[in-house]
């Protein structure tokens, strides 16, 4: 089981898409184990996107991410990182396939609605940036027996 960070960016919040996007993840079978509405500070945005600091889009990205509240989520599931990224679709809404979050809700090459961790290492780093100890919960979800085939003694 993996836990991944998802950020519903300012454009998703301002457009009132948060409920629809969260529902997609829950409908898929991913478990919300942490979630909050927050305003990202300049420092947090700079730290989160430090790998892009030398790129021409960096300043605009930090400005965008601090322009309005975001919803940050920790999602848990078997293969959660890959599943979430596939659900998000291509980076630019104009190139994202229909049926994906960006494909269904986005057309912009600048405003792309959502961020998701791209690896287990990134997820671990990012979750620590956005959630304090104790804010990502472990709780039994009784419906998991209907999401995952566990008859062989392991999750499939």
Residues identified as active-site:
115
Task: Give the separation between CA 33 and CA 20, rounded to whole angstroms.
Answer: 18
In DSSP notation, 5-18 reads: EEEE-HHHHHTT-H
Helix ranges, the chain (H): 10-14, 18-28, 42-48, 58-65, 80-88, 101-105, 120-130, 144-147
């Amino acid at each position: 089981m993996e836990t991944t960070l998802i950020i519903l960016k300012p454009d998703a919040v301002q457009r009132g898409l948060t409920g629809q996007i969260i529902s997609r993840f829950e409908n898929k079978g991913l478990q919300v184990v942490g979630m909050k509405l927050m305003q990202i500070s300049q420092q947090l945005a700079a730290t989160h996107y430090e790998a892009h600091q030398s790129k021409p889009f960096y300043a605009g990205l930090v400005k965008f991410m601090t322009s309005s509240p975001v919803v940050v989520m920790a999602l848990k599931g078997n293969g959660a990182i890959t599943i979430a990224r596939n659900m998000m679709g291509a980076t630019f809404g104009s190139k994202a396939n229909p049926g994906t979050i960006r494909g269904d809700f986005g057309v912009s090459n600048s405003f792309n609605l959502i961020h998701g961790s791209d690896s287990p290492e990134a997820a671990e780093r990012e979750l620590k940036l956005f959630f304090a100890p104790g804010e990502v919960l472990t709780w039994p979800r009784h419906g998991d027996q209907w999401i995952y085939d566990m008859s062989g003694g392991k999750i499939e």
